Amino acid sequence: MGAVTPSDRRVAVVTGGGSGLGRASALALLGAGWTVAVAGRRKDALEETTALAEADADRVLAVPTDIRSPEEVARLFDAVRDRYGRLDLLFNNAGAAAPRRPITETRFQDWNRVLDTIVTGSFLCAREAFRLMSTQTPQGGRIINNGAPSAYVPRPNSLAYTAAKHAVLGLTKVLALDGRPYGITCGQIDVGNVTPVDGAAQPAAMQADGTMAVEATIPVERFTDALLLMAAQPPDTVIQSLVVLPATMPFLGRG
C-alpha cells in the first residue's frame, strides 16, 4: 500500500480504544489504511494502542476522553476536525458492564454507569459526528454502533446491560433514518462471545434454565473482519445489521 495522502485519507474515531475490542478495531482499521483517532478515559492505555499500531505518527491520534461528558466529547471531535479536516467513520464501541443481579439487587450507581457509558456516550459521540459529517466537504460519513446479542435477546439478571443495548438498537435506527439527507449511514454490529484478547479464561455464563456453562468463542479477528467489511462499503450502501457469533453459541431463544 502506498502512502496515504490528505486527499484520499479516510478518518475514523474509535471509542473505548484503549483495550479489548476497541483496541483490536483501531489496529485493524489502521492496518487497512485508515487514519484513526482512539478515544478512552485512560491516557496510558491509548498510548499503548498507538504504540502497537506501528503506524505513521500522522495516521493515529490518541485523545483521552470521558464519553459521558458533553464537553470532552466536543473536544474529541474538535481535535479530529482540527488535525484531519473531516471524519468518515465513527465506531461507537465504548461499553460498561455491571454485576449480574436480579432487579431487586441492582444498584442505582451500576445502572447509571452502564446507561451513561453505552447510551449517553453513544448519543454524544453520534451528535458530534453528525455535526462534523453534515458540514464537511464532501458531505457524509458512516457510524457503526457496537451492539450485542442482548440488543435482541437478554440473558437472565442483566437488566442494565440489556436495557442499554436495546437503546443502542433504537439509536442506530433513528440515526440511519435521520442521516439520509446528509449522506450519513448508520449500522450496528452485534458480536457474540469473543475469545478474551488478554488471554484470560472464558467465564461461564448463565443459561436460560439457570445453569452455568462455558460457551464457545470466536477469535477477535472474526469481529474485526466484519467491522472492516461494514466500514468499507461505498457511501450509497449500508450494512444495517450484522450479527457475528460462534456457530454453537446460544442466541436464538438463548438455547
Q: Is 82 exposed, middle or buried (0-12, 13-18, 19+ CB in 10 A)?
A: exposed
Q: At 52, give phi and psi (nearest 5°).
A: -65, -25
Residue 234 lies in a domain: yes
Residue 56 lies in a domain: yes
Catalytic residue among 84, 152, 161, 182: 161
Residue 120 backbone zone (phi > 0: left; psi -120 to 50: alpha; other: beta): alpha
Residue 153 lies in a domain: yes
d(CA 37, CA 62): 6
Query: What global pTM score does this model have?
Result: 0.93
Residue 41 lies in a domain: yes
User: What CATH number has the domain bearing residue 127?
Assistant: 3.40.50.720
Which residues are paired to 91 by β-bridges? 14, 144
161 is catalytic: yes
Residue 247 lies in a domain: yes
Residue 1 lies in a domain: no
What's the domain range around 10?
A: 6-254
Residue 248 lies in a domain: yes
Q: What is the pLDDT of residues 3-47, one digit of tens each?
A: 445 557 899 999 999 999 999 999 999 999 999 999 999 999 999
pLDDT at residue number 198: 75
Q: Could you read off the pLDDT tens digit of each residue along the chain, which spans 255 residues? A: 344 455 578 999 999 999 999 999 999 999 999 999 999 999 999 999 999 988 787 899 999 999 999 999 999 999 999 999 999 999 999 999 999 999 999 999 999 999 999 999 999 999 999 999 999 999 999 999 999 999 999 999 999 999 999 999 999 999 999 999 999 999 999 999 999 877 788 889 888 888 899 999 999 999 999 999 999 999 999 999 999 999 999 887 665
Domains of the chain: total: 1
pLDDT at residue number 100: 92
Residue 116 lies in a domain: yes
In this structure, what C-alpha cell is assigned to residue 225? 473482519
pLDDT at residue number 1: 39
